[in-house]
Amino acid sequence: MNAKLSRQMTLLGLGVLAFYASMLATGRVSLEVLPQFAISAVIFLSSGKIMRQIAARLPDKEEEEQTQRTPPNWELRTQVLNWVAAATVVGIVGLFIVKPSSMSLPELFEFLLHTDFAPEVSMPVAP
């Protein structure tokens, strides 16, 4: 278990409490749903504490898992990043090349949304 995850669950529980309190304060929900809200907030808050206790009991296993990790393949990651960046740049440049000079980008997107690229073709029924 990761100790960071327990902190995140506790913070999530506090966020849930703040969200529910704001919903009640603004009058979006009535007091009838308070038990469900309270139970879910308690579950989030207690799960963080339980995860922290479990992580304290099993430190050896976590250390073994960290030592068995293989180092990342930085060459492959760099190549993937380069190809994604190149495809993004080519796509943006292609968009500006295809776009007519008198049309703005919002007009182009509106035109593309209202264009029917696949018109319906009536197929003859087989005898």
Residue 57 belongs to a domain: yes
Q: Which pLDDT belongs to residue 77?
A: 94
- Please state the domain count of the chain: 2
Residues 14 and 40 in one domain: yes
SS3 100: coil
Nearest to 48 by CA among 15, 113, 4: 4
Start-end of H helices in the chain: 3-26, 34-57, 59-67, 74-98, 105-114
Residues 63 and 80 in one domain: no
Per-residue pLDDT for 99 more than 90?
Answer: no
Residues 27 and 82 in one domain: no
Query: Domain residues for 83?
Result: 74-114
Tell me the pTM: 0.40
Residues 104 and 61 in one domain: no
Give the angle 36-50-1 at the CA atoms, nearest 5°: 125
pLDDT-derived band at 10, boundaries 50, 70, 90 = confident
